Amino acid sequence: MSSEPTGRHSAAAPAGFQVYDTTLRDGAQGEGMALTVADKLAIARHLDDLGVGFIEGGWPGALPKDTEFFRRARTELTLRNAVLVAFGATRKPESRVEADPQVLALLEAETPAVCLVAKSHVRHVSEALRTSLDENLAMIRDTVAFFRREGRRVFLDAEHFFDGYAADPQYAVECVRVAAESGAEVVVLCDTNGGMLPPRIADVVHEVAERTGVPLGIHCHDDTGCAVANTLAAVDAGVVQVQGVVNGYGERCGNANLITVVANLELKMGRRVLPPGRLAELGRVSHAIAEVANQPPRANQPYVGLSAFAHKAGLHASAIKVSPDLYQHIDPALVGNDMRMLVSEMAGRASVELKSRQLGFDLSGQRDAVSRIVERVKNLEARGFMFEAADASFELLLREELDGVPTRFFDLESWRVIVERRADGEVVSEATVKVVVKGERIVATAEGNGPVNALDRALRQALERLYPQLAELELVDYKVRILDGSHGTGAVTRVLIETSDGETEWTTIGVDGNVISASWQALDDAYMYGLLRQHAGSGDPAAQGVSTAGPRTR
């Protein structure tokens, strides 16, 4: 990976130090993770933005979805920083590498690099693989050499290495040596079962490095709650590659959290492992990937969590104001986070002003408006809204408070949705919308493949004659999250809708006990924002037919 010194730290990053992300492969193994190919492509782009050196995309051949990912990646994924890696296994015992279907599928992924998993634990060779120790070495030798001949960079994941080293250090080391001699660039020592503590990791890495001289990597799991510390201990002991997963997703207790590892390496250990300026993207990338993976962000996640720099006011409040550095281990801005006072309104004002500036509104000197906006945002967020993810809804709210009246292109009278499963098994969704547009009352009914789709079509149909430019709008994403899991179907539902007009995309939000009402709110905002954009684009901001009557639904 390319990593230029930023001049911020004294120690230089080791030449060619590699940050290797396996969110899309090992992270996807986590319970409750179910990434589509589109999700995986989106995550890969975020990882590339962050500046990781390597992105392990999946296991082609073993998982049809991953085969598809690599196929689509060839045309749909342009990486600026990262090298795409396909994961696979060494060839089957007693077979020819050139004829192994899994090996060939890996080759057909057409990635510049492959990562091969291999056994290095004598019992795993005999009991899981059911072959001889020599044959396992031959499998490593043949498969690594095969991919080198095909012009690929090769990494080798030595599975169960630390347990294997305890069982038979001689053999484990031999696996490392054979892999390197056959052309593996880095041999990654894996604590596959996650049972190690840092001192043992450090000792083994030291010993293997000394005995082989091979460039080593580290791959840890969090079963002792020490995956991050284990990874750092391995770096101290000389590894040149760290593998990890964004937000620590992964099987059982998860993989080493790559966000935390990178922040510690950069900020605590003085190693530059990301391209200049990217460290401040950690927070954004962590949250964006959580969103795509549909995993609730962990508020207490180190460095990037919502609570990571939150201070309960009280004892320390005045001192924090004078010397924040006394109460924070780093400046949160370094990792794209913010100090947050849990009782004080100050943090709220600052972030509203900052956010508004980002959207092109200068609120300096408008103290009252800022107070009103902060108050309203707080009330709405207490009810489950989350404006961080819904810029367009926030902008509508902002305009409303600044203009004093809501911008309305149409007024709602009522809507109705019917979903019916008929006796013949067919399910039909139908929606009716009644609106007043430019003084005209319009009733429109449409069917859809679900209640929200029907509602969207009915609304579009109602508006399209008087706002023909709505034809360009398309709903590109729809997300639902139940916010309070303790009241069954009576819980509060948050809906996020992403809309595109072909040029840009915007996200709107709705929150309600009723999923359809929440969806309506988000749809309403989505159309409102789209119309606003188009009128702004026409140079006619307070455009024709804009009604300002009636409060917003919310």
Q: Which of residues 140-179 bind its own copies (CB under 8 A)?
A: 160
Tell me which residues in 283-302 interact with its own copies (CB under 8 A).
Answer: 292, 294, 296, 299-302
Smallest distance from the beta carbon of 292 to its own copies, in angstroms? 8
Take residue 48 and report the two structure tokens written for it.
């590339």
Q: Does residue number 456 form part of the binding site for its own copies (CB under 8 A)?
A: yes
Residue with smaller CB distance to its own copies, 30 or 53: 30
Q: Does residue number 123 form part of the binding site for its own copies (CB under 8 A)?
A: yes
Tell me which residues in 240-259 interact with its own copies (CB under 8 A).
Answer: 248, 251-254, 257
Take residue 303 and report the two structure tokens written for it.
């460095």
Q: Does residue number 491 form part of the binding site for its own copies (CB under 8 A)?
A: yes
Residue with smaller CB distance to its own copies, 75 or 414: 414
Take residue 72 and report the two structure tokens written for it.
């689509």
Smallest distance from the beta carbon of 544 to its own copies, in angstroms? 26
**Segment holding 456, helix H or strand E:** helix 451-464
CA separation for the pair 292, 314 (Å, rounded):
37
Smallest distance from the beta carbon of 72 to its own copies, in angstroms? 12
**Segment holding 231, helix H or strand E:** helix 227-236
Q: Which of 489, 504, 544, 549 binds its own copies (CB under 8 A)?
A: 489
Tell me which residues in 411-440 interact with its own copies (CB under 8 A).
Answer: 412-423, 427, 429, 434
Residue with smaller CB distance to its own copies, 180 or 259: 259
Residue with smaller CB distance to its own copies, 112 or 225: 225
* Residue 212-241 contact track with its own copies, rule CB under 8 A, x = bound: ----------xxxxx-xxx-xx--x-----
SS (H, E, C) 375-437: HHHHHHHHCCCCHHHCHHHHHHHHHHHHHCCCCECCEEEEEEEEEEECCCCCEEEEEEEEEEE
Q: Does residue number 388 form part of the binding site for its own copies (CB under 8 A)?
A: yes
- Please report, as a single letter, which amino acid is at residue 339: M
In the sheet that 505-512 helps form, which strands lie side by side, from edge to edge?
A: 474-482, 493-500, 505-512
Q: Which residues pair with 506 in a beta bridge?
A: 499
Tell me which residues in 318-357 interact with its own copies (CB under 8 A).
Answer: 318-319, 322-323, 326-330, 342, 345-346
Residues contacting residue 385 through CB under 8 Å, at least 6 positions apart: 377, 393, 494, 509, 511
Q: Does residue number 383 form part of the binding site for its own copies (CB under 8 A)?
A: no
Residue with smaller CB distance to its own copies, 108 or 477: 477
**Strand locations in 42-184 (E):** 54-56, 83-89, 113-119, 153-159
Smallest distance from the beta carbon of 50 to its own copies, in angstroms? 17
Residue with smaller CB distance to its own copies, 40 or 535: 40
Contact 108, 133 (CB under 8 A): no
Considering only the stretches 80-88, 98-106, 363-371, 479-487, report the one whose residues sit in contact with its own copies under the rule CB under 8 A: 479-487
Considering only the stretches 75-83, 141-149, 171-179, 449-457, report the one whose residues sit in contact with its own copies under the rule CB under 8 A: 449-457
Contact 85, 56 (CB under 8 A): yes
Tell me which residues in 96-115 interact with its own copies (CB under 8 A).
Answer: none
Contact 545, 437 (CB under 8 A): yes
Smallest distance from the beta carbon of 329 to its own copies, in angstroms? 3
Take residue 296 and report the two structure tokens written for it.
């609730």
Considering only the stretches 26-34, 270-278, 355-363, 394-402, report the one whose residues sit in contact with its own copies under the rule CB under 8 A: 26-34
Q: Which of 2, 132, 307, 379 binds its own copies (CB under 8 A)?
A: 307
Considering only the stretches 124-132, 146-154, 176-184, 528-536, report the one whose residues sit in contact with its own copies under the rule CB under 8 A: 124-132
Distance of CA 146 to the CA centre of its chain: 34
Question: What does each C-alpha distance from 91 to 88, 98, 104, 179, 286 come to in angstroms?
Answer: 9, 9, 10, 13, 35
CA separation for the pair 477, 496 (Å, rounded):
8
Q: Does residue number 402 form part of the binding site for its own copies (CB under 8 A)?
A: no
Q: Does residue number 517 form part of the binding site for its own copies (CB under 8 A)?
A: yes
CA separation for the pair 491, 114 (Å, rounded):
45
Tell me which residues in 180-199 interact with its own copies (CB under 8 A).
Answer: 193-195, 197-199
